[in-house]
Amino acid sequence: MKYEIHYSCCSHIGKRRNENQDNFLCDGKYLGDDGDPKGFSMNGCTDHAQPRVFSVFDGMGGEEHGEIASLIAARCAATLKIGESPIEDLREYCSTANEAICGFADDHGIGSMGTTAVIIVFAENEINLCNIGDSKAFHFDGKKLEQISVDDYSVAFPGKKPPLSQNLGIPPAEMMIEPHFARGNYYDGDSYLLCSDGLTDMVSTEEITGILAETVAGRQKDVSKATEKLLQKALDNGGNDNITIILCRVERGERGLFDKVFHFLLD
């Protein structure tokens, strides 16, 4: 059954950082070594000719080369081949990306470096999700916004954001990474939001829902306007971190035999 994915992607340095340590993969494109360090945006539409991969990576560690870790993860994602078992392909991707980041750190005498990852794959009959860290994925059905990723947090000190308990870039000798995987059906009119915490730390769930309701629900269906408004709201609210956003809206000619009920099945 034919479907289209209308997407919009933006990545911004924010107001307080000296560099952008975020990265992404959007319909085969990512921020390379020559990318604009302050801001990037793209919009487009793709179809179901092959599985489509969208992802956001948030490099960690301040001066600990987080931008390199997120770039390595994006490059690995760009070579990801999706076959008949997308979840297993995503599992293998996490292992490969983790090994590549750890290998780079070892080769260059870097004590530690890491990145979060949140990835969605639009296959012909379902959507597949993978995440590690705290970059988030949301499903929006036109009214309700639901987080479909799982945050990896350790215990927080009072008044501070909790540190991550999982990320890509953890040497296997220290701890095995444990990414989260899920899959579910998608329907005409569904939207999926991927973002780094530069958005969610600055913009509340209620504000995000309101912006999406104004821009991608009903007749408007304007994903580029939605990402523009989300980015501006994060900047207006302080812009304390790098901000990366990917918004995808699914449009297809007809639904399947089931009612529009969205369920993810944890693997």
- pLDDT at residue 111, as a whole number: 86
**197-221 tens-digit pLDDT:** 999 999 999 999 999 999 998 777 8
- pLDDT at residue 33, as a whole number: 67
Strands 114-115, 52-60: parallel, antiparallel or unpaired by DSSP? antiparallel
- Which regions in the chain score pLDDT beneath 50? 254-263, 267
CA dist 56 → 2, 40, 210 (Å): 26, 13, 22
Strands 114-115, 117-122: parallel, antiparallel or unpaired by DSSP? unpaired
- pLDDT at residue 256, as a whole number: 40
**Residue-averaged pLDDT of the chain:** 90
Q: Are 264 and 182 in contact (CB under 8 A)?
A: yes
- pLDDT at residue 198, as a whole number: 97
The arrangement of secondary structure in 3-160+170-255, i.e. its CATH architecture, is: 4-Layer Sandwich (3.60)
**125-139 tens-digit pLDDT:** 789 999 999 999 999
Sorted by where each begins, the domain ranges of the chain are: 3-160+170-255
- pLDDT at residue 260, as a whole number: 38
Q: Is the pTM of this model over 0.75?
A: yes
Burial 53-64 (b: 16+ CB within 10 A, else e): bbbbbbbbbeeb
Nearest partner of 144 among 191, 204, 196, 201, judged by Cα? 191
